[in-house]
């Protein structure tokens, strides 16, 4: 089980969350430009840490490679992809359930060595791409 971060503003949509993060970095930039920040790099590190403590990892560039061949638990998958996309374990399990039950597009699930479900990183990324195409009015692949 992962240490799922709790978002402080429970009514926020995904767009609201992204705006909140973006506006906080904009405010930081304004403070730096106005000379109100004596150590801009330290302020940036603190801002990054603040958002990471709330489960937002995409705002910080990462050189961590994505192992697309890996099969991971839902918890590990969320962590492995945190710097690219914000997922929850529930979403991952739900996508696998959809495929398993024939309810439409989803992701493949297999039983791992310890008897627990695992999900393929490349399959999840491909599924997210298919979702994005559908939302933009394209056809599902």
Tens digit of each residue's pLDDT (9 = 90 or more) over 104-120? 899 999 999 999 999 99
| Token code pair at residue 12 | 């926020």
* Beta pairing partners, 79: none
- Residue 53 · residue 24 · CB < 8 Å: no
Residue spans of the domains in the chain: they are 14-53, 71-135
The confidence band for 130, taking pLDDT boundaries of 50, 70 and 90, is: very high
Whole-model pTM: value is 0.59
Q: Please say if the pLDDT value at position 2 is more than 50.
A: no
Distance CA 124, CA 44 (A): 31
Q: Please say if the pLDDT value at position 34 is more than 70.
A: yes
Please state the rounded mean pLDDT for residues 42-68: 84
Tell which wins on pLDDT, 51 or 58.
51
Q: What is the pLDDT of residue 59?
A: 78
Q: What is the pLDDT of residue 1?
A: 41
């Amino acid at each position: 089980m992962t240490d799922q971060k709790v978002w402080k503003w429970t009514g926020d949509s995904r767009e609201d969350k992204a705006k909140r993060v973006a506006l906080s970095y904009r405010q930081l930039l304004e403070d730096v430009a106005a000379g109100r920040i004596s150590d801009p790099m330290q302020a940036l590190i603190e801002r990054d840490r603040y958002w990471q403590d709330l489960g937002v990892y995409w705002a910080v560039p990462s050189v961590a490679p994505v192992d697309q061949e890996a099969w991971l638990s839902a918890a590990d998958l969320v962590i492995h992809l945190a710097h690219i996309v914000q997922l929850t374990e529930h979403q991952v399990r739900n996508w696998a359930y959809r495929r398993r039950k024939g309810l439409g597009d989803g992701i493949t699930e297999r039983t791992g060595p310890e008897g627990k479900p695992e999900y393929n990183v490349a399959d999840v990324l491909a599924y997210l791409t298919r979702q994005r195409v559908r939302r933009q009015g394209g056809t599902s692949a």
